[in-house]
């Protein structure tokens, strides 16, 4: 049931008001006919299914990309020119990409389906005055539902009764500690979900106690339904890789088409009439072959393979990629917005300090004296159950007390046998205390735990080094000061006290039992940070990446944890921390202007997380968002890269994410960023190699056409592309990470594949390749081995063909780094690359040296003088580029 804006919020209404609003009957529940009518009007208590598209529709959608259209045109042209093999290769690349795209799109539909699977299957409902078990899908607003420990909340509801009811809402709010529920109307305004203690939310879990609630919202009208709606309406952000590839494809295509037209026109004007007398057809074929050769048709496949190799490496580092382009996006990440619970922290309450004998002691310290008495009370005043597998079942706060005892190697089995519980007063959120009674020698021991301030009001003595002494006012002030100090450090504080009585009280009432107590001590608990996270945050900062904490937890807790992790520096004050309520008071323009001021966000709702991501994106930042709960899913989908936790994460968050951490380790993200940077660097190397080679080919054909020389035939260009483009370019994607890659600043959203000087590098290297090839052709024509003009031209064409192919293979070594020397990055480190060069060189040479293939490729046999000139000229590209790189490094160093 959504608030209509006129009525006050649901949590501010009394149970009587809610009953009246919903026309419900708390005593008897709805009648069967009334429930049936409401179900027909409102619909089942289910989340709306996502709109499905057929596999064929998904397949067709993959062909809307501009680069794919260009490749299809290239395949058509290749087929028309008789180059069927090349056409088939291009088509195979396009179809493989389409199939992969369909697979990824199908995976993306899982998020809302996972939400649907989380829903409770059944619920205990009061109808016609009788409690009955019904499928949760049949529940309607106004139904009265009984709740017990272990139940999954079937729909949103206003609580009517609460008997020590605690509900774990971490998936929705990000709080690791179950919320203590009550029934009175709340007075606060704009309360976040975690503070609406009289409400229960669909898909959260009852961990303790029992209760009764009236359903106020079902299906898409629940908080979970609200998230599902956000997921459905949130468009997945295009990765920088996808944007860059699309932009590069369009630019290349326009440029290539212009060059092809110019070559055709110039050729028609300059080229003499051919023997066939059909100059128009010959020049058309030349222009088409140039266009096909210049388009890097292997680029999508090479990018996909490089990303797949990166994915494989990340899997070995416990980072599982759901979407290939996200591998590269990691490398450009500038902001990591991280959920706290289960991501930065262990999602496990732990005793960190204990206070006895007026001393605050770190938890690992062995317990002695009064501390042993404190440990006994922690174990006895506890409802934790341990199953046959040794797992602890119960409230996380209480299981942490048992874990503390176990860490102290205490014999709990004997303690429980010697001190069985014979009576109790359960915890109550009103008095904030819990009491148990146990036999003790010839008396009975009453143990009390709870909020220290409430406990101190009921104590008259304190334990001091195993001696009972009077509790003075100064003692209470000192204990109160320690309590405040621990709370400011984000510790959850519990106090413990006891007293001995001769018999079990006849009336188990708080005022009669919980008084004249002996104060023993306090413990401070926290959901501790993961030990590796602080180092990972520091490493990210070194790499120019800013980490944000975005949590549903309290402001004090969030600030304390963030300082311990280094997310908040010592220079940053509390103004770097903002709550969801404070964020609501800022309009979008103001928030976007101030977004860089905030590093920690506390008590936030799902909408806030999406807003934070969008604010940073509006600043041109590449944002990664981590999380594990249902509430994180919309932000994970909105972010440039969503990172879900594999162990503690919900299926909903995993379905919305691009990457899943198999070990829930924040440090894995930093390792993944390094891999992402390597992937982008290697794709850049492949692009540098492909485009400089293609530019060399275009320049060669263009000048040959203008000069009226014999022009390399389409079969020459296509064969060079086939043998020299594919294997070396793929092997460049397997290059090891360059030294110092994590000390560079993130590339950011505005960078592309031609940034960092790569565009000018491609141009000068392509020009060198083309000029050397043309130089070899010119030399062979002017200083022929054979006297016959026809033989000289055939030899020159063969030498140009061999040079253009081999120079690309030698140049592949140059592309191992844009600016670094190949001797710095390692000439022969990459064994796959070495073999790729050898295989490609053999495939090129065999067309010249093997009898029979010469005729197919229209080439001649070369003598050793000619081969020496070809090899020497091709190899010259390496020292020439090395000298230019050296000059560039010197120039950059001076700057």
45: three-class secondary structure by DSSP? coil
Give CA–CA dist 697/703, Å, rounded: 10
How many domains are contained in the chain? 5
Give the model's pLDDT for residue 195.
86
Query: Is 2 inside a domain boundary?
Result: no
Residues 68 and 39 in one domain: no
Cβ distance 458 to 497 under 8 Å? yes
* Residues 6 or more apart in contact with residue 692 via CB below 8 angstroms: 761, 762, 765, 766, 769, 811, 815
350: three-class secondary structure by DSSP? strand
Give CA–CA dist 257/250, Å, rounded: 11
Give the residue from 327, 291, 326, 300 showing the smallest Cα distance to 66. 300
Give the model's pLDDT for residue 82.
65
Residues 79 and 215 in one domain: no
pLDDT above 50 for 274: no
- For residue 471, give both structure tokens: 């509790």
Half-sphere exposure of 323 (CA within 13 A, CB side): 31
Query: Is 3 inside a domain boundary?
Result: no
pLDDT above 90 for 776: yes
Q: What is the pLDDT of residues 193-250, one digit of tens each?
A: 888 999 999 888 887 788 999 999 998 888 888 777 766 655 555 556 666 766 777 7
First to last CA, the chain: 64
CATH of the domain at 641: 3.40.50.1000
Instruction: 251-259: list long-range contacts, CB under 8 Å, 24+ apart.
Output: 252/294, 252/295, 252/296, 252/691, 253/66, 253/67, 253/70, 253/295, 256/290, 256/291, 256/294, 256/295, 256/698, 257/291, 259/290, 259/291, 259/294, 259/698, 259/702
Half-sphere exposure of 747 (CA within 13 A, CB side): 27
H or E element: which one contains 715?
A: helix 714-720
Give the E-state strand segments of 684-725 in sequence order: none
Cβ distance 335 to 621 under 8 Å? yes
Q: What is the pLDDT of residues 559-598, one digit of tens each?
A: 988 999 999 988 888 889 999 889 999 999 999 999 999 9
Cβ distance 522 to 363 under 8 Å? no
Query: Is 866 inside a domain boundary?
Result: yes
Give CA–CA dist 330/754, Å, rounded: 18
Residue with tokens 């919980």: 514
Cβ distance 799 to 780 under 8 Å? yes
Cβ distance 168 to 178 under 8 Å? yes
pLDDT above 50 for 118: no
Give CA–CA dist 870/874, Å, rounded: 6
Task: Give a three-class secondary structure readout of 762-821.
Answer: HHHHHHHHHHHHHHHHHHHHHCCCCCCHHHHHHHHHHHHHHHHHHHHHHHHHHCCCCCCC
Q: Which residue has the higher pLDDT, 424 or 786?
A: 424
Q: What is the pLDDT of residues 709-732, one digit of tens each?
A: 777 776 787 788 778 877 898 888
Give CA–CA dist 456/370, Å, rounded: 18
Residues 422 and 522 in one domain: yes
CATH of the domain at 253: 1.20.1110.10
504: three-class secondary structure by DSSP? coil
- For residue 822, give both structure tokens: 């190949």
463: three-class secondary structure by DSSP? strand
Which of 379-393, 426-440, 652-666, 815-829 is predicted least confidently?
652-666
- Using CB atoms within 10 Å of the CB of residue 416, give its burial: 0 to 12 exposed, 13 to 18 middle, 19+ buried: middle
pLDDT above 50 for 5: no
Q: What is the pLDDT of residues 525-562, one digit of tens each?
A: 998 888 889 999 999 999 999 999 988 788 888 898 89
Query: Is 855 inside a domain boundary?
Result: yes
Rg (the chain; Cα; Å): 36
Pairing verdict, β 517-526 and 459-464: parallel
- For residue 828, give both structure tokens: 């022969």
Give CA–CA dist 6/718, Å, rounded: 72
Give CA–CA dist 287/284, Å, rounded: 5
Give CA–CA dist 321/40, Å, rounded: 43
Give the E-state strand segments of 218-281 in sequence order: none
CATH of the domain at 458: 3.40.1110.10
- The residue out of 643, 671, 699 marking a domain boundary is 671
Residues 356 and 341 in one domain: no
Q: What is the pLDDT of residues 671-705, one digit of tens each?
A: 888 888 888 888 888 889 988 998 898 888 888 87
pLDDT above 80 for 858: no
- Using CB atoms within 10 Å of the CB of residue 150, give its burial: 0 to 12 exposed, 13 to 18 middle, 19+ buried: exposed
Residues 16 and 156 in one domain: yes
Cβ distance 397 to 487 under 8 Å? no
Query: Is 4 inside a domain boundary?
Result: no
339 noted as active-site residue: yes
Give the residue from 742, 764, 760, 859 showing the smallest Cα distance to 811. 764
Q: Which residue has the higher pLDDT, 791 or 103?
A: 791
Query: Is 731 inside a domain boundary?
Result: yes
Residue with tokens 């035939």: 713
Mean pLDDT of 270-287: 60
* Residues 6 or more apart in contact with residue 241 via CB below 8 angstroms: 303, 307, 325, 328, 329, 680, 683
Phi, psi values for residue 123, rounded to 5°:
-150, 150
pLDDT above 60 for 106: no
Give the residue from 728, 679, 705 showing the smallest Cα distance to 834. 728
Alpha helices by DSSP H, listed for 53-123, are: 55-61, 66-80, 84-108, 110-118
Phi, psi values for residue 612, rounded to 5°:
-65, -45
pLDDT above 80 for 291: no
Cβ distance 862 to 799 under 8 Å? yes
Residues 722 and 802 in one domain: yes
Give CA–CA dist 616/789, Å, rounded: 68
Query: Is 481 inside a domain boundary?
Result: yes
Query: Is 5 inside a domain boundary?
Result: no
- For residue 653, give both structure tokens: 């968050």
Give the E-state strand segments of 91-236 in sequence order: 122-127, 130-135, 144-148, 156-168, 179-180, 199-200, 205-217
User: What percent of the chain has a predicted confidence (pLDDT) above 70?
Assistant: 84
DSSP type of residue 603: S
Give the E-state strand segments of 489-545 in sequence order: 492-501, 517-526
Give CA–CA dist 774/15, Å, rounded: 89
User: What percent of the chain has a predicted confidence (pLDDT) above 90?
Assistant: 36
Residues 357 and 440 in one domain: yes
Phi, psi values for residue 482, rounded to 5°:
-65, -40
pLDDT above 50 for 89: yes
User: 320 falls in which pLDDT band (50, 70, 90)?
Assistant: confident
- For residue 130, give both structure tokens: 């009788």
Q: Which of 143, 339, 527, 658 is catalytic?
A: 339
Cβ distance 686 to 732 under 8 Å? yes
Residues 657 and 683 in one domain: no
Residues 662 and 690 in one domain: no
Which of 196-200, 479-483, 733-737 is predicted least confidently?
733-737
pTM for the complete prediction? 0.68
Give the model's pLDDT for residue 812.
94
Which of 300-304, 341-345, 395-399, 519-523 is predicted least confidently?
300-304
Give CA–CA dist 436/422, Å, rounded: 8
- The residue out of 651, 671, 691 marking a domain boundary is 671
- The residue out of 85, 108, 131 marking a domain boundary is 108
Cβ distance 400 to 350 under 8 Å? yes
Give the residue from 580, 586, 622 showing the smallest Cα distance to 601. 580
Pairing verdict, β 641-645 and 659-661: parallel
Give CA–CA dist 702/694, Å, rounded: 12
Mean pLDDT of the chain, nearest integer: 83
Residues 29 and 75 in one domain: no
Give the model's pLDDT for residue 429.
72
pLDDT above 70 for 769: yes
Residues 565 and 705 in one domain: no
Distance of CA 207 to the CA centre of its chain: 29
Pairing verdict, β 623-627 and 335-338: parallel
Q: What is the pLDDT of residues 36-66, one digit of tens each?
A: 999 999 888 887 655 566 667 767 776 766 5
Give CA–CA dist 348/342, Å, rounded: 8
Residues 725 and 847 in one domain: yes
321: three-class secondary structure by DSSP? strand
Measured at the alpha carbon of residue 48, what is the angle toward residues 42 and 53, in degrees to the nearest 5? 140
> What residues make up the domain containing 575?
321-346+530-671
Give the model's pLDDT for residue 350.
93
């Amino acid at each position: 049931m959504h608030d209509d804006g006129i009525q006050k919020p649901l949590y501010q209404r009394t149970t009587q008001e809610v009953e009246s609003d919903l026309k419900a009957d708390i005593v008897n529940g709805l009648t069967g006919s009334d429930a049936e009518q409401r179900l027909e009007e409102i619909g089942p208590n289910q989340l709306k299914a996502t709109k499905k598209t057929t596999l064929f529709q998904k397949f067709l959608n993959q062909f809307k990309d501009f680069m794919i259209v260009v490749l299809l045109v290239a395949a058509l042209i290749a087929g028309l020119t008789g180059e069927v093999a090349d056409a088939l290769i291009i088509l195979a690349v396009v179809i493989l990409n389409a199939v992969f795209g369909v697979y990824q799109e199908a995976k993306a539909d899982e998020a809302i389906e996972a939400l649907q699977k989380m829903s409770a299957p059944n619920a205990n409902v009061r109808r016609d005055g009788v409690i009955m078990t019904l499928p949760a899908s049949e529940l309607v607003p106004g139904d009265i539902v009984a709740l017990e420990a272990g139940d999954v909340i079937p729909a949103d509801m206003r609580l009517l009764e609460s008997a020590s009811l605690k509900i774990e809402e971490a998936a929705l709010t990000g709080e690791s500690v179950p919320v203590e529920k009550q029934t009175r109307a709340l007075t606060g305004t704009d309360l976040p979900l975690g503070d609406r203690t009289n409400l229960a939310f669909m898909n959260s879990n009852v961990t303790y106690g029992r209760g009764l609630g009236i359903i106020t919202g079902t299906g898409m009208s629940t908080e979970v339904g609200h998230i599902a709606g956000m997921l459905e309406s949130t468009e997945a952000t295009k990765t920088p890789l996808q944007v860059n590839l699309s932009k590069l494809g369009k630019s290349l295509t326009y440029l290539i088409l212009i060059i092809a037209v110019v070559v055709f026109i110039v050729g028609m004007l300059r080229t003499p009439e051919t023997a066939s007398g059909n100059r128009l057809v010959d020049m058309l074929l030349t222009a088409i072959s140039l266009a096909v050769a210049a388009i890097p048709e292997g680029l999508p496949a090479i990018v996909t393979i490089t990303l797949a190799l990166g994915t494989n490496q990340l899997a070995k580092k416990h980072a599982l990629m759901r979407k290939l382009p996200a591998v590269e996006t990691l490398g450009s990440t500038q902001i990591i917005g991280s959920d706290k619970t289960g991501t930065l922290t262990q999602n496990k309450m732990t005793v960190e300090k204990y206070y006895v004998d007026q001393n605050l002691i770190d938890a690992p310290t062995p317990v002695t004296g009064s501390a042993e008495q404190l440990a006994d009370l922690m174990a006895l005043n506890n409802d934790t159950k341990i199953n046959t597998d040794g797992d602890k079942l119960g409230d996380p706060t209480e299981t942490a007390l048992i874990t503390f005892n176990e860490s102290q190697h205490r014999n709990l089995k004997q303690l429980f046998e010697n001190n069985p519980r014979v009576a109790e007063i359960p915890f109550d959120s009103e008095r904030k205390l819990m009491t148990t009674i146990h036999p003790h020698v010839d008396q009975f021991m009453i143990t009390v735990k709870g909020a220290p301030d409430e406990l101190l009001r009921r104590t008259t003595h304190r334990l001091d080094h195993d001696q009972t002494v009077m509790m003075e006012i100064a003692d209470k002030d000192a204990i109160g000061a320690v309590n405040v100090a621990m709370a400011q450090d984000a510790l959850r504080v519990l106090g413990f006290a006891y007293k001995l009585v001769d018999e079990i009280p006849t009336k188990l009432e708080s005022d009669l039992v919980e008084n004249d107590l002996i104060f023993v001590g306090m413990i401070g608990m926290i959901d501790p940070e993961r030990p590796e996270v602080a180092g990972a945050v520091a490493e990210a900062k070194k790499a120019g990446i800013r980490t944000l904490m975005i949590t549903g937890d309290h402001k004090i807790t969030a600030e304390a944890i963030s300082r311990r992790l280094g997310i908040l520096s010592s220079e940053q004050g509390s103004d770097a921390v903002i709550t969801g309520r404070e964020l609501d008071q800022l309009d979008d323009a103001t928030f976007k202007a101030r977004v860089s001021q905030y590093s920690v966000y506390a008590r936030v709702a799902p909408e806030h997380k999406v807003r934070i991501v969008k604010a940073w994106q509006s600043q041109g930042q590449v944002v990664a968002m981590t999380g594990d709960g249902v509430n994180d899913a919309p932000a994970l989908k909105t972010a440039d890269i969503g990172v879900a936790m594999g162990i503690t994460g919900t299926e909903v968050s995993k379905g919305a994410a691009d990457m899943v951490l198999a070990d829930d380790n924040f440090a894995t993200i930093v390792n993944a960023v390094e891999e992402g940077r390597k992937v982008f660097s290697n794709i850049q190397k492949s692009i540098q190699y492909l485009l400089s080679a293609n530019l060399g080919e275009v320049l060669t054909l263009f000048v040959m056409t203008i000069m009226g020389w014999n022009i390399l035939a389409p079969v020459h260009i296509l064969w060079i592309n086939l043998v020299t483009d594919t294997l070396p370019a793929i092997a460049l994607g397997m290059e090891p990470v360059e030294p110092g890659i994590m000390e560079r600043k993130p590339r950011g959203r505005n960078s592309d594949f031609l940034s960092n000087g790569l565009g000018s590098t491609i141009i000068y290297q392509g020009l060198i390749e083309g000029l050397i090839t043309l130089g070899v052709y010119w030399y062979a024509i002017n200083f022929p081995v054979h006297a016959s003009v026809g033989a000289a031209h055939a030899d020159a064409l063969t030498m140009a063909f061999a040079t253009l192919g081999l120079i690309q293979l030698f140049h592949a070594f140059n592309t191992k780094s844009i600016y670094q020397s190949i001797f710095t990055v390692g000439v022969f480190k990459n064994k796959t690359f070495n073999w790729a060069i050898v295989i490609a060189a053999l495939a090129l040479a065999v067309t010249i040296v093997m009898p029979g293939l010469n005729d197919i490729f229209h080439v001649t046999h070369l003598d050793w003088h000619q081969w020496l000139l070809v090899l020497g000229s091709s190899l010259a590209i390496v020292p020439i580029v090395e000298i230019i790189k050296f000059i560039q490094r010197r120039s950059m160093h001076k700057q």
